[in-house]
Amino acid sequence: MIGDDLILKSAQEFEKTCAHLKEQFTRLQIGRASAALVENIPVEVYGTQQPIKAVANIAIPDPRTIQIQPWDRGNLSAIEKGIVGTGIGLNPMNDGVVIRIPIPPLTEERRTELTKHVKKLAEEAKITVRTQRQDIHNGIKKLKDDSKITEDEWHGLDEKLQGKVDIANKKIDEMAASKEKDVMTV
């Protein structure tokens, strides 16, 4: 049917939104070391901005430490400056060869703060889904207005679209609940 490509497009857009939310959740500091916390932090090296993962090896020697070893030792201070400049609360230690970042345990206050942030990220994802839904809905309505589809087809496509929205919102809710549980687990 003529509007099915719009429904397929909506499903793909909703999936991208969920993938982006998942990526944002991996960047949250939850008391364990993870390369995702630092790998995309931009640093000024060789006259351009590059993510840390492009100029250094990132390792996790133990559950509470991130170790960054640049391929060029001249970039140590730039990497350290980039990490401090992000404002994510990490305190890098430069020993002249590698940068070690200890991950402090989370306090109850920080856990509550992170839970609120998880909810905020989930709500932003839902807003994105609603915006995408409205765009697709307008496309379907235009097809009806241009007499390319019938009234019944329009209602059928609108129901399919709403089904895709419901699936995306459910997935977002499940991801948020899982992350909240992960944050609150001591």
Taking the chain, what is the end-to-end CA distance rounded to the nearest angstrom?
52
Span 102-117, mean pLDDT?
Answer: 82
Name the CATH superfamily, with its identifier, for domain 4-26+107-184: Ribosome-recycling factor (1.10.132.20)
For 34-57, the pLDDT digits (tens) are 788 888 888 988 888 989 898 999
d(C-alpha 158, C-alpha 28), whole Å: 36
- Give the pair of three-digit tokens for residue 29: 């500091």
Nearest to 70 by CA among 29, 103, 25, 38: 38
Instruction: Give residue limits of the domains in the chain.
Output: 4-26+107-184, 35-102
Span 145-167, mean pLDDT?
Answer: 88
pTM above 0.75, yes or no: no
Which amino acid would we find at residue 130?
A: R
| Percentage, residues of the chain above pLDDT 90 | 23
d(C-alpha 67, C-alpha 102), whole Å: 9
- Which pLDDT band, with edges at 50, 70 and 90, does 186 fall under? low
Q: What is the pLDDT of residue 1?
A: 64
Query: CATH says 35-102 is which class?
Result: alpha beta
- Torsion angles phi and psi, residue 165, rounded to 5: -60, -45
